[in-house]
Chains A and B, each alone.
Chain A
C-alpha cells in the first residue's frame, strides 16, 4: 500500500469506530447526531471537498458528486446510519479498487521489465556504467554474468549462455560464441562477454518491443470502443432517470411518499458510474497483450486479439514457416549397377560434393555439409556450371554430370529409372547413371504439433501456400495434416488464393496468415490477421505484421489463439457481470427493493471484482497452451 492508501485506511477505521460507538452508546439523540456527523465527515470529507471543487470547475456528474448527493440526501431524510455506512462502504470499495489497480499496474510493469538500465563501457581507461542510450554504434561494451544485454550487437570476445525467455518465451538458454549476433533484453547467464554495438538503443530489439507493447493498447478492440461509447451515454441516462424517479411518481401516484422515491432515486445515482466496465475491460486486454508478449508473441492491438480469438482459417506459408528453409540431404540412393561398376552411397555423395565444390547454390552447400569433409580439389579438373541444368565436371579424369532430369536426358544422355517426388540431384559418370541424392527442406520439429493443436482448438481449416512444385507441397501438407494446399504459386498468386479463402469463411470468422514477414508483405496486409514468424532481429517483419512471433516456432500461434480467447472470455465475463449486477440493482432500486448498500456494491464492489478478474488475463502467460507433440509420421 502507498502512503496515500494507508492514510485512507486509517480514516476509514477511525470513522468506523465512531460509527460503532454511535450505535452502542445509549446517549441522547442530539449527541448521537454529532457523533454521526463527525464520523461522516471523517469518512467522506475528501469526497465532499472533491465534489465541491469539481462543481466549481464545471465537472458535475462524477462519482464524488453522486456520492455526496446520495449520502447527504440520506442524512436529510434522517437515515444517519445508512448515510454513514454507505459512505464508509464506498470508501472501502474505493480503497480496494485503488489497491487492485496499483497491484495490476505493478504486475504489468514487471511483465514488461525488460528495459536494461545500464551498459558497461570503457571511458578513460576504466569501465563505467552508462545509460544504454548514450552508447554509440560501433563501441565495445562489457556484459557481466547476470546482466541484461543492453543493446543489440555482435560478440567480439567470450562465450556464454543467454536466457532469451523475456523476448521469445523460450526457456532453454542459448549458447553464444564470438561472432554471434545477440539481442538486447536477453540475460547473460554465465560468461563475461565483450560486444560491438550494432544499433542505437532506440533501434534496438528491446526498445522496439517495449514501444510495440505499450502502444498496442492504442489500437482498441471493438469491445473497448463499445464500452467507451456506452459509458458516455450511461451516466447521463441514469441521472436523468433518477431525477424523474424522484419527482414524477409522487406527483402522479396517489399516496406515494416523496421521501421514499427520493431514496430510490439516490440509489440510482450511486450506480450511475460506469467505472467497473471502464477499468476492467481495457485492463483485461492489456493483461492479454502483456501475457502473450511474455510467451514471445507480440500482438499489436486489442483488435488483433479479438480477431485471433475468432480465427477460423489459418493459412501458412511453407518455406521458413512450417519448414526451416534450409536444404539438407535426406536420402542417398545409388543406382543398381553390375558389380564392377558398383558405387556406394558414400562414393555417390563424394562425387556430388566434389563436383559442386565451387558452387554457392543452397543445394550445393547442403551436399558439402552432408559430405562433411574438405573436398580434395586436386581430383577435380575442368568444372562448368550450366544454369538450369547443373554441373559438368571432370573428376579423377572421368566426365561426371550432376544435375536435374533435364541434365541427365539432354547432356549426360542416360535413362532415368523411376524416382520419387522431391528435389533430386542425379549423378551420371562416364555415360552411366550412378544414382540420385534426395534433398529436402526440413520440416520444423513442432510444425505437426502446431497444426494438430490448431485443429484441437477448433480452427476449421488449415491451408498451406507454396511456390514449390506440386509433389513436394503435397507431401509436406500430408505429413503435417494440413487440409488444403496450393502449390507452384508466384508471389502475386498468393494474394489471389487468399482472396478465395477470405470469400470462403463465415462473416464473423477471421483468416490468419502466417509467413516469415519478408517476402509476403502483401499477403500479410490482406489477411484479417497477419502473423510474422522468426521476427527476432528482423525489423521488416516486426513492421509488416499485426502479430509477431519472436522465435521460429509455428506452435506459438496456438498459444496466441489460446491467450486471445481467454482474454476475450474474461472481458465478456466482466461486461456481462457488471452490466448484469448494475441492471438488476437499478430495477430493484426503482421498485424500492434495493437499499443503498446494494447500490454501493453494484458500483465499487463490482469494480473490485471485475479488476481482480481482469488480472487473471495477465497470468495466462503462466499457463501453457494445450499443445501435445505428435510425431509427424503418425499423421500421414
Chain B
C-alpha cells in the first residue's frame, strides 16, 4: 500500500536524495521517494509493516537533516 507523508523544514536537496536512498533500502519497502519540492515522502510497502517503517524513516530523516521532521 502507498502512504504519503508531509515533511517540514526539508532544506537540502542533496539530503532528500540521501533519505530517499536510505528509506528505499529498509526492509519491506517496495519503493520510496522524497520529493524535495513538495516536501512529501511516499512509501510503498506492505500494510502491516508500514508503522515500523515509518519509525525507521523518522530516524533516518533526523540523522541526515536534524531540523527536518515527518508530519503525520
A residues apposed to B, CB below 8 Å:
50, 53-54, 57-59, 62-63, 98, 101, 104-105, 108-109, 214-215, 217-218, 228, 231, 273-275, 278-279, 282-283, 286
Contacts and interface: CB of A to CB of B under 8 A. Distances in A.
A282 B13 CA distance: 9
B37 A59 contact: no
A108 B13 contact: no
B39 A105 contact: yes
B56 interface: no
Given A214-B35, A218-B42, A279 B13 contact: yes
Interface of B: 11-15, 17, 33, 35-40, 42, 63-64, 66
Contacts of A231: 14, 17
Determine which residue in B13, B36, B63 has the highest number of CB atoms from chain A within 10 A of its CB, and name it.
Answer: B13
Contacts of A101: 11
B52 to A, nearest CB: 21
B42 A282 contact: no
A105 B12 contact: no
Contacts of A282: 13, 36-37
Nearest to A273: B14
A105 B40 CA distance: 12
18 contacts: A50-B66, A63-B12, A101-B11, A104-B37, A105-B37, A105-B39, A108-B37, A108-B38, A214-B38, A217-B33, A218-B33, A231-B17, A273-B14, A278-B14, A279-B36, A282-B36, A283-B36, A286-B37
Contacts of A58: 63
Contacts of A109: 38
Nearest to A112: B38
A53 B66 CA distance: 9
A273 B13 CA distance: 11
A50 B66 CA distance: 8
Given A105-B37, A282-B36, A274 B64 contact: no
Nearest first, the 9 closest Cβ-Cβ pairs linking A and B are A279-B13, A278-B13, A278-B14, A286-B37, A57-B63, A218-B33, A228-B17, A275-B14, A217-B35
B7 to A, nearest CB: 12
A381 to B, nearest CB: 64
B57 to A, nearest CB: 15
Nearest to A4: B9
A207 B36 CA distance: 21
A626 to B, nearest CB: 28
Nearest to A279: B13
Contact of A59 (B11, B36, B42, B64): B64
A515 B66 CA distance: 49
B1 to A, nearest CB: 14
